[in-house]
Amino acid sequence: MSIANVLLVDDETPFVVTMTKRLLKRDLHTVSAFSGEEALLTLEIDGSIEVVILDVKMPGMDGIEALREIKKRHPLVEVIMLTGHATVDTAIEGMKLGAFDYLTKPCDMDLLVSKVREAAGRKRQIEDRIFGVRLKGIAGKRE
Amino acid sequence: MEPDRETGNHYYRSLTRRMVLIVALVSLTPLFLVSGIILYQFHASYQEKVYDHLSELVQKHTQNIDGFLKEKLADIRFLAETFGFEDLSKESFLRDMLETLQRDYGPVFVDLGVVNTQGLQVSYAGPFKLEKVIYYDADWFKKAMKKRYFISDVFLGIRGFPHFIVAVRDNYKGQHWILRATIDFAAFNNLVENIRIGKTGFAFILNKKGDLQTKPFRGIHANKDFYLDFLRSGRRKEGGMHIFEKRGSTGRKEIYVTTPLKHGEWEMVFQQDVSDAFSKLNRAVNVAIVILVLGAFGIITTALLLSKRMVGRIARADQEKERMNEQVIQSGKLASVGELAAGIAHEINNPVAIMVEEAGWIGDLLEEEEFSQSENLDEFERALQQIRTQGQRCKQITHKLLSFARRTDPRAQDVQVNDLITELVELSAQRAKYAKVTINSHLKEGLPFLQASPSELQQVLLNLINNAIDAMEKTGGILNIGTRLEGANFIIEVSDNGPGIPDADLEKIFDPFFTTKPVGKGTGLGLSICYGIVKKMGGEIEVRSLLGEGTTFRVSIPLPKDKEGQSQA
């Protein structure tokens, strides 16, 4: 079983291709998207995605807008922002909007993987908690 | 810079002149006005005082002389009425009477004589041989016979000395007879001659024909008409007094005070130079003028000094302002350089990230078993490590670039504007791509060089392009940049089809610190800096905007004078 299901979003194709291979090699089940719109579509289709690695600067729907939409439609999905220096402010703004963390390009692979693990862990924790609450609710009704 | 300084100096010089003029005018006008009014008032009241003084004096002396004449007449009357014709026609008695009179009154009475109705001098007492002289045809005798009392004009008569006669008519046995006395001219003359005021004031007596009755202190007008003229005409005050100023034959202005004597038969005339009569006033006026001139000099000197000092301060303040402006432009420059650097940093980071990822991928693959036996494994890993290290180094460099700000060169040189725009469009392409903005350049070919600072021009254009992209960031759009010539002006137009600028904002758009961007996004300095730079180049920057249609900025810069011919040729 993979450590986590990841969606990698960036408009730079070679970056996405290589990064996907590297994440897969580290037991992260990774799918990719090349724009904000595509990312949303993928999330719609694939409900198993736990963590989104999102580039901030993209033509069309940029990272911040995509983040807003993701958090609206899939509040439990964790998002890690990926950014160049010029948009650190934007990344911080992303944090305020509910992103899990942000990393600057080029980033260290081990660091990225550990962030993904943390993000996935948090997601599962929250899910478990919600599941527990629901279970208690059902159990309470039966008694 | 040199001509700039010269026009500046000219401006400050004219400013100094204007200030001096205004201060001097404002201070001197009331000074002269008040001084003039005071002097005029002072002159008027002083003149009145002088006139009053003179008339009083002349009046008093006139009364004196009138009194003298009346007294002499009364003496003779007393003789005639007390002793009668019989006694007085005796020469010894008459001589006694003359002696008595001379003893009592001094040598005023020169002689005495009794004349009968036929004009024969019956008896005579005195120093001349005038016994039995017939006065029948004498002018005075005719007049004396008509009146009870008579005082004649001064005349020479038989004796050949100036004298005048006091006569009293009486009756004896139904026949008129006359007692006459001759008054000493010198004694009478003294009375008038003693009236002396100032250096030039003196008096004399005239009869109705304008003949002198006394010897004047100094030369008077030879022409009798001069006196007759004003004796006959002119308004008179109470008591027949008449005061006026007239220019005499000497050319000097003189005051005349005249008053009638001897029941209007004579006229007492007092004459004085105006300059003498008003000498105190003139002295006061002179002192006032000296003070006024000194005051005016003081005011002008103060105005000059103050204005120079003030203008000096203004000039310093202007220099300060200019320095501040330069600083503002400088900070604006840094801001645009920073934006540029941010763009570059992002651009470089992306490819570097890919390179680092690829290297990482190679590293991942090397960990697999088939490569672990390779003898060059260490070498591969070292190389990959090096790529990662250099990737990090690139990251640091772009990081530094962000905080890097260099002083741009404000010196003017020949600039090919089209090349500059092409460069800027390339630089902005990435930003434009993210904002979904298409940049179209309409650059006319073969345009002349422009004399300008490339970095400043770049700053202006970059600001305009960035603003246009900002305006269309949400909606996307088309950004048009065009260059062309219009007469002797180089025109650069930057237009967008963004939302446009409301009219209310349009007029403030070039004001410093005016911005519609959210707090922290815009400094509000960009366009004001553009405005400052374009103005410095001697050009104009205009904006046209329609809500919903878009905005066009039009920069017009005059071509250098010597290049104009070339561009047209």
Average pLDDT (B20-42) is 90
Inform me whether the pLDDT recorded for B6 exceeds 70: no
pLDDT range class, residue A113, cuts 50, 70, 90: very high
Please give the single-letter amino acid code of residue B210: G
Q: Cβ separation of B350 and A85 shorter than 8 Å?
A: no
pLDDT range class, residue B258, cuts 50, 70, 90: confident
Share of chain B above pLDDT 90, in %: 11
Q: How far apart are CA B187 and CA B192, in angstroms?
A: 9
pLDDT, position B334 = 61
User: Mind telling me how many Å the CA of B350 is from chain A's nearest CA?
Assistant: 7
pLDDT, position B3 = 45
pLDDT, position B252 = 80
Q: Cβ separation of B360 and A22 shorter than 8 Å?
A: yes
Q: Which of B471, B475, B464, B459 is nearest to B517 (CA)?
A: B471
Q: How many CA atoms lie within 13 A of B430 on its CB side?
A: 17
B20 neighbors B303 (Cβ within 8 angstroms): yes
Q: How far apart are CA B480 and CA B191, in angstroms?
A: 115
Domains of chain A: residue spans and CATH: 4-142 (3.40.50.2300)
Out of A25-39, A112-126, B300-314, B422-436, least confident range: B422-436
State the SS3 of B435-447: CCEEEEEEECCCC
From residue B186, alpha-carbon distances to A4, B105, B347 in Å are 154, 14, 132
Confirm whether the ipTM is greater than 0.85.
Answer: no
Q: How far apart are CA A11 and CA B351, in angstroms?
A: 12
List phi, psi (to 5°) of A126: -60, -40
Q: Cβ separation of B436 and A12 shorter than 8 Å?
A: no
pLDDT range class, residue B223, cuts 50, 70, 90: low
Token pair listed for A87: 């948009």
User: Mind telling me how many Å the CA of B306 is from chain A's nearest CA?
Assistant: 56
pLDDT, position B54 = 87
Q: Looking at the complex, does the CB of residue A134 fall below 8 Å from at least one CB of chain B? A: no
Residues from chain B that touch A104, judged by Cβ atoms under 8 A, are 349, 395
Q: Cβ separation of A84 and B356 shorter than 8 Å?
A: no
Element (H, E) at A104: strand A101-104
pLDDT, position B305 = 92
Please give the single-letter amino acid code of residue A35: S
Q: How far apart are CA B206 and CA B226, in angstroms?
A: 12
Q: How far apart are CA B528 and CA B543, in angstroms?
A: 13
Average pLDDT (B242-271) is 81
pLDDT, position B183 = 87
pLDDT, position B5 = 56
Residue A142 or A51, more confident: A51
Q: Is B124 helix (H, G, I), strand (E, B) or coil?
A: strand
Q: Each residue of B504-518: pLDDT tens digit? A: 888 778 876 677 776
Q: How far apart are CA B35 and CA B288, in angstroms?
A: 8
Degrees (nearest 5) of the Cα angle B404, B407, B413?
135
pLDDT, position B221 = 61
Q: Each residue of B134-175: pLDDT tens digit? A: 888 888 888 888 888 888 888 877 777 788 889 999 888 888
Average pLDDT (B54-64) is 87
Average pLDDT (B247-262) is 81
From residue B472, alpha-carbon distances to A90, A97, B335, B344, B438 in Å are 19, 24, 21, 21, 10
pLDDT range class, residue A85, cuts 50, 70, 90: low
B353 neighbors A106 (Cβ within 8 angstroms): yes
Average pLDDT (B217-236) is 65
CB pairs under 8 A between A and B: 68
Average pLDDT (B244-271) is 81
Q: Each residue of B275-303: pLDDT tens digit? A: 888 888 888 889 989 999 999 999 999 99
Token pair listed for B90: 């005796």
B501 neighbors B551 (Cβ within 8 angstroms): yes
pLDDT, position B410 = 58
pLDDT range class, residue B37, cuts 50, 70, 90: very high
Q: How far does Cα B229 stand from its chain's mean position? A: 47
Inform me whether the pLDDT recorded for B265 exceeds 70: yes
Q: Cβ separation of A86 and B343 shorter than 8 Å?
A: yes
Q: Looking at the complex, does the CB of residue A114 fall below 8 Å from at least one CB of chain B? A: no
User: Mind telling me how many Å the CA of B363 is from chain A's nearest CA?
Assistant: 10
Q: Each residue of A1-53: pLDDT tens digit? A: 578 899 999 998 999 999 999 999 899 999 999 999 999 999 999 989 999 99
Inform me whether the pLDDT recorded for B399 exceeds 80: no
Residues from chain B that touch A13, judged by Cβ atoms under 8 A, are none
pLDDT range class, residue B402, cuts 50, 70, 90: low
Token pair listed for A3: 């450590």
Using CB atoms, pick whichever of A12, A15, A85 lies closest to residue B399.
Answer: A85
What is the residue-wise DSSP string for B509-522? TTSTT---SPTTT-
pLDDT, position A36 = 92
State the distance between the two ends of chain A, measured CA to CA, in whole angstroms: 37
pLDDT range class, residue B270, cuts 50, 70, 90: confident
Q: Cβ separation of B398 and A85 shorter than 8 Å?
A: yes
pLDDT range class, residue B336, cuts 50, 70, 90: confident
pLDDT range class, residue B565, cuts 50, 70, 90: very low
pLDDT, position A28 = 92
pLDDT, position A88 = 58
Q: Cβ separation of A106 and B353 shorter than 8 Å?
A: yes
Out of B4-18, B233-247, B439-453, least confident range: B233-247
**Look-up of token digits 């990926």:** A82
